[in-house]
Amino acid sequence: MPTVLVVNVNTSPAVTDVIAAAARAAVSAATRVVALTPRFGPASVESNYESHLSAVGVLDAVQHHQGEFDAVVHAGFGEVGREALQDVLSVPVVDITEAAAHTACLLGRSFGVVTSLDRTAPAIHDRLLLAGLAGRCAGIGSVDLPVLDLETDPGVTAKAFVEQGRRLVEAGAEVVVLGCAGLSGLHGAVAAELEVPVVDGVAAAARTAESLVALGLSTSKVRSYAPPRPKPVRGWPFPNLG
C-alpha cells in the first residue's frame, strides 16, 4: 500500500484535518494518506516572513516522521519550501500550487485563483511564474478572510468564494482554482454555482503524487535538486544530512 505524506504548512490541527480529508477523498482506496502538522512554526501563513518560517517547520516534520512513505504533498498555496524537500528526499514531492494550476490547464485555456487574503496574491503569482504557468492565469482574487477564519462560517466562506470566482470567470477564467489549503472541500458546491470546473489544490496534488508513485517516477537528482553537500550547520534541528 503506497503512503503519501500530506504536510500542512501551518501549526493548526484543524487545518490539518481539512487537508487530510480532502487528500483522502481524492486518492484511491489502495493509498494511505498520513497528514502531518509541524511541531513549530506559525499558526497560519499569510506573509513572506511566515512562509519562510513554515518551510523550516515542514522540513522538520517530514525528516522526523517515523515510518516509510512514497511521496509528499506540500500543502501550502504559494508558499516556499517545496524545493528544499526535493533536495533532501528521493521520493516525489508535489506542491499544491503547481498541481492545481497544471490540472486547471488540462481543463481550460485559462484559470483564475481565489485565495484567502489579497496580500498573498503576489506570492502565488511568483510560484506560478516559477512554474511557467503565470501566462495562463486570468487573475487572482481573494475572499478577504484570514486562513484561521475560513472554517468559522463555511456558508459565508463559500458565498465569498463564489463571488470572487464569478468575477474571475467574467475576466476570462475558464477554470477556477481554490488558492488556499484551508478552502479544501468547497470545490463541489462552488462549481455548481459557477458552472465551471473548480480545482482543489490538495486533491489535485494528492492524486498527482499517487500517480507519480504508480508510474515509478521521482524527482531528478542530477542538478537542481541534488542532495546538499554534507557540512556542519550550527544549531540545525534536523537529522545529519551527510
Measured over the CA atoms of residue 137, residue 139, residue 142 and residue 143, the dihedral's sign is: negative
Q: How confident is the model at residue 160 (pLDDT cuts 50, 70, 90)?
A: confident
pTM: 0.92
pLDDT band at 129 (very low <50, low <70, confident <90, very high): very high
Three cell numbers written together for 217: 517516477
User: What pLDDT was estimated at residue 242?
Assistant: 33
Of 73-82, 83-92, 176-185, 222-231, the range with the lowest mean pLDDT is 176-185
Q: Is the pLDDT of residue 97 over 70?
A: yes
Element spanning 83, H or E: helix 82-88
User: Would you kindly state where each structural domain of the chain is located, as residue ranges?
Assistant: 3-95+204-214, 97-201
- What is the rounded average pLDDT for all residues in the chain? 91
For the chain, the first-to-last Cα distance in angstroms comes to 30
- DSSP codes, 207-230: HHHHHHHHTT-----SSTTPPPPP
Cell numbers representing residue 6 in the block: 500530506
- Domain at 97-201: CATH architecture: 3-Layer(aba) Sandwich (3.40)
For the cut 70, the answer to whether the pLDDT of residue 13 exceeds it is: yes
Encode pLDDT of 43-79 as tens digits. Answer: 999 999 999 999 999 999 999 999 999 999 999 999 9
Domain 3-95+204-214 identical in fold to domain 97-201: yes
Query: What class does CATH assign to 3-95+204-214?
Result: alpha beta
Percent of the chain past pLDDT 70, that is, above it, reads: 93
Torsion sign (Cα): 230, 234, 236, 240 = positive
Check residue 147 and report its DSSP letter.
G
